A and B are shown apart, each in its own frame.
Chain A
Amino acid sequence: MVQEKIIAMLAEATDTDASEITAETKFSDLGIDSLDMTEMAMDLEDEFDITLEMSPELNTVGKLTEAVEALVAEA
């Protein structure tokens, strides 16, 4: 569910077909910049009622999904 949400956000923000985005997709490959990442983090915080610390290590869809899922499980 988290991954589908992230992919849907990315597809909309970058005008990319959702089917082309996978867990391995790097944000840099989609032309996402740091402010796009901040916008996505804030939307994810609202969506899942979490506090998300973005970091350079969270550079793929899969890694961000794991981080969000871990926070949702903690909540």
Chain B
Amino acid sequence: MSFKIIGTGMYVPSRAVTNDDLAQIVETNDEWITKRVGIKERRISETEFTSDLGAKAAQAALDNCGCKAEDIDLILAASVSGETSSPSMACMIQNKLGATCPAMEVSAACSAFLFLLETAAAYFALRSNYKKILVVGCERMSGVLDWSDRGTCVIFGDGAGAAVLERGEGYLDAVINVKGGDDVIKIPHGIGCSPFFKGEIESPYIHMQGQETFQYAVTSLCDDVNTLLERNGLTMDDIAYIVPHQANKRIVDFARKRLRMPEEKMFCNIEKYGNTSSASVPIALDELAKSGKLNRGDKIILCAFGGGLADAACLIEW
């Protein structure tokens, strides 16, 4: 017994920041960003915090399936850019929704939404009284960026995505992998000002090795998708859509080429939002669901990769 997705929702701040806007801040230009990462604009919060974005996406997902906050048995949320470490974003979202159920965070950076789904599946198996679980990925990535580093500040955006899961049979299989280490991607924090600490203090912004990240992303995406197909006796023809983490258009394009997939089956909206880390898969899923292109019974694959290093993919029957 696992779950089916009965509602999706997303929320992004209203302020769209274009590549030309960024060219006013760092030495870059629209052509370079478009060619290198495939992003035209991203949404950046001016007043809202991460949990505000998460709560609005969560409310949209509840509205989408006609659920109320009190119908939810558990809230699972993820973020690498929360305004507080404690309370967790899950607790903040619970409060803003007016829910009373348990709420907790699962940390797996850009892959976190897939880890939330896997955790939800485990809870449905463990707790027979749980009927509905709300999962939320929410990020204000603009708060963890070095805005003088043109290599990273052009890539990310703010936003949140959510889904309401109901006990059912739609979550068919999943692959999750972790190769722990901080040499490729990291966001240092929790440094504080201890007078006793003698270690090296790093700036609390995203540090990322571009080439290594690219290679890891493409390899893990292809491996995870192929594992799911092989394990379930499926071919790409059986899959209606792949919804990948929107990290970089070139990662998605190169992976698609290696998977020998038609372009129309790989959902991509990075040009509008940039990389929103844990929010990117649920935002993409919500846009795909609302586009009317998905039919009940369609098989789709969600997949993600990122800091950890952590990567994951799951096979879902819509």
Interface of A with B (CB < 8 Å)? 33-35, 37-39, 41-42, 54
Contact = CB atoms under 8 A, between A and B. Distances in A.
Nearest to B37: A35
Given A33-B36, A35-B36, A35-B250, A42 B211 contact: no
A72 B128 CA distance: 56
B215 interface: yes
Contacts, number: 21
B215 to A, nearest CB: 6
B211 A34 contact: yes
12 contacts: A34-B210, A35-B210, A35-B214, A37-B211, A38-B211, A38-B214, A38-B215, A39-B250, A41-B215, A42-B215, A42-B219, A54-B211
A54 B215 CA distance: 11
Interface string B237-258: 0000000000000100010000
Between A34, A35, A37, A42, the greatest number of chain B beta carbons within 10 A of the residue's beta carbon is seen for: A35
A39 B254 contact: yes
Contact of B218 (A33, A37, A42): A42
Which secondary structure dominates where chain B touches chain A?
A: helix
Interface string B169-212: 00000000000000000000000000000000000000000110
Contacts of B218: 42
Nearest to B219: A42
A57 B36 CA distance: 22
Contacts of A35: 36, 210-211, 214, 250
A54 B254 CA distance: 18
A51 to B, nearest CB: 11
Contacts of A34: 210-211
Given A35-B36, A37-B211, 5 more contacts: A35-B214, A38-B214, A39-B254, A41-B215, A42-B218
B184 to A, nearest CB: 13
Nearest to B215: A38
Interface in B75-96: none
A31 B80 CA distance: 35
Nearest to A34: B211
Between A34, A37, A42, the greatest number of chain B beta carbons within 10 A of the residue's beta carbon is seen for: A42
B257 to A, nearest CB: 9
Nearest to A54: B211
A27 to B, nearest CB: 14
Interface in B110-151: none
Contacts of B219: 42
5 closest cross-chain pairs (CB), A and B: A38-B211, A38-B214, A34-B211, A39-B254, A35-B214
Contacts of A41: 215
A35 B254 CA distance: 10
Contacts of B254: 39, 42
A41 B219 CA distance: 12
